[in-house]
Amino acid sequence: MEKREKKVTFSQFQKLGKVLMTPVMILPIAGILVGIGSAFTTKNIVALWPVLGNTYVKLFFNLLKAMGNTINSYLPIIFAVSVAIGYAEKEKGIAALSSVIGFLAMNNVMNILLTSLGILDPAAMKTGQSMVMGIASLDTGVFGGILVGLLVAKLHNKYYNIQLPPVLGIFSGTKFVPMISLLACSALGLVMSVVWPFVQTGLGFMGEIIYDTGMAGSVIYGLAERALLPFGLHHFIYTPFFFTNLGGSMVIDGTLYEGAVNIYNAMLASPDAMFDVNITRFIMNGKVIFAMFGLPGAALAMYHCAKPERKPQVKALLIAAIIPSIFTGITEPIEYSFLFAAPLLFVVHAGYAGLAYLLTYICKVNIPGPSSFGGPFLSTIFNGIMQADKGSNWIWVFIIGIPCFFLYYFTFRFMITKFNYKTPGREDDGQEVKKLDKKMSDEMMATIIEGLGGADNIQHVDACFTRLRVKVKDKALVMPDTDWKQKTGANGVVQVADGVQIIYGAKADIYKNNLKSALNMD
């Protein structure tokens, strides 16, 4: 029983990581808008191109920054709504409304309580306090939003179809959810008023330790983030650094910012602030190197090691997998192409990722790499080349990246041939490399449904960037892991307590929609 409880907890962590990706994926457009707006309003660029000093031109680029900061300034409530919707089983609109009410209630309660106790002064707020949706409150960041979203989703799933006594019948069903959410989140505000300052202090202390570790901290951060990818828990490495003072705190243009993403965006928007690698390392400057150079080198090695007759298929597979790595920072498709066939290659890759973080720290490369900043390629342009005056040191991306390409290439090629790893195109006879099609045939859909034990055995279908996540009634009816690759072209299968996660790379979300449509699921 204890073992099963651990598995369920692990599965829930994976689901939370998937839910958190929804608001994070809103950030790329915000980052691009702020990046463009900031790039064309810097003093040196305006001096070089005087036309940029025109009032209306300046207004245009300042509007772009304002549009991007619409997302950056309201991330906590965006997280609250996204988590509530992600976990709500039915009536997701009511869950979203309730999360907004709950988030405002939590902050209003903290405002009234802390102001009454003399702890909070809206005219002179201290570290850890800020204006949240126009309310002077504790700065709980996105974690406050996540807690509200989880609490509201829990209440929503329990009470959205509640039947109250006749005298209160008008409040039955979904109308009860906003009311109970208001009360529960108000209580959460009382708890947070007491607990959160201690959490902030602890995070600040940990942040100082990590900050002082310098290069070693960068290596550990980068290596751990990649190493947890196969378990779907890598989100829990970087998310605290992104959005809490674990990733640093800094005053920029008279305003205190906490969390690496918030600080970097403030630096980007500021006319005077310079980039700081101690902040940038936590928003994945090392990922620019291995996603844009290292993994393409690995892909080329796998292509050259493929059997001649299978190279055309492998080429299509690897190109489709490497494009998102370079342009969006989504590296899972290429990583899963060798993770299950050759786990030792992934161990080497995780080590090289740590090395990339080390080198970018030493060379002070101030270019973020995740998809939330547009991905490595666009980030190199908008946050690197166009922000050279802020100390982006973009030239080092290519000085480090090109050798990294060959390091991956020769390492992978040596290990694949030395240990005869069954990477794409080297499978035994009878195993076929599946091409990444844009549409799924009815035959493929039928195979997947049958492999999951039939339509009656499927309880829930979802997907993240690369995984089709399916909850089933009886796992014994699911076909063996090896059959998924041979029959459906899957890159691998991860077993969880209540189902399976089938890795299809970029096709996962398409497969989810097709599967739901075939099963008539909402």
Catalytic residues: 464
Contacts of 355 (CB under 8 A, 6+ apart): 219
Q: How far apart are CA 424 and CA 411, in angstroms?
A: 16
- CA distance to 428, 483, 491, 510, per residue, from 486 (Å): 11, 5, 10, 20
Q: How far apart are CA 111 and CA 158, in angstroms?
A: 29
Q: How far apart are CA 444 and CA 450, in angstroms?
A: 10
- Residues facing residue 348 across a β-bridge: none
CA distance from start to end of the chain: 32
3-class state of residue 440 by DSSP: coil
CB atoms within 10 A of CB 212: 10
- CA distance to 102, 103, 213, per residue, from 160 (Å): 16, 19, 49
- Residues facing residue 144 across a β-bridge: none
Give alpha helix (H) positions in 290-384.
Answer: 295-305, 311-328, 332-339, 343-362, 375-379
Exposed (0-12), middle (13-18) or buried (19+): which is 179, by Cβ within 10 Å?
middle
Residue with tokens 């998102």: 324
Q: How far apart are CA 349 and CA 355, in angstroms?
A: 10
3-class state of residue 499 by DSSP: strand
Q: How far apart are CA 335 and CA 346, in angstroms?
A: 7
Going through 464-512 in order, the beta strands assigned E by DSSP cover 467-472, 492-496, 499-503
Give alpha helix (H) positions in 383-499.
Answer: 395-419, 442-451, 481-488
Query: Contact at 8 Å (CB) between 361 and 411?
Result: no
φ, ψ for residue 40, nearest 5 deg: -95, 10
3-class state of residue 41 by DSSP: coil
Q: How far apart are CA 25 and CA 519, in angstroms?
A: 28
Helices and strands, number each (H, E), in the chain: 22, 8
Joined tokens for residue 515: 């599967």
Nearest to 222 by CA among 335, 353, 372, 401: 353
Q: How far apart are CA 339 and CA 93, in angstroms?
A: 39
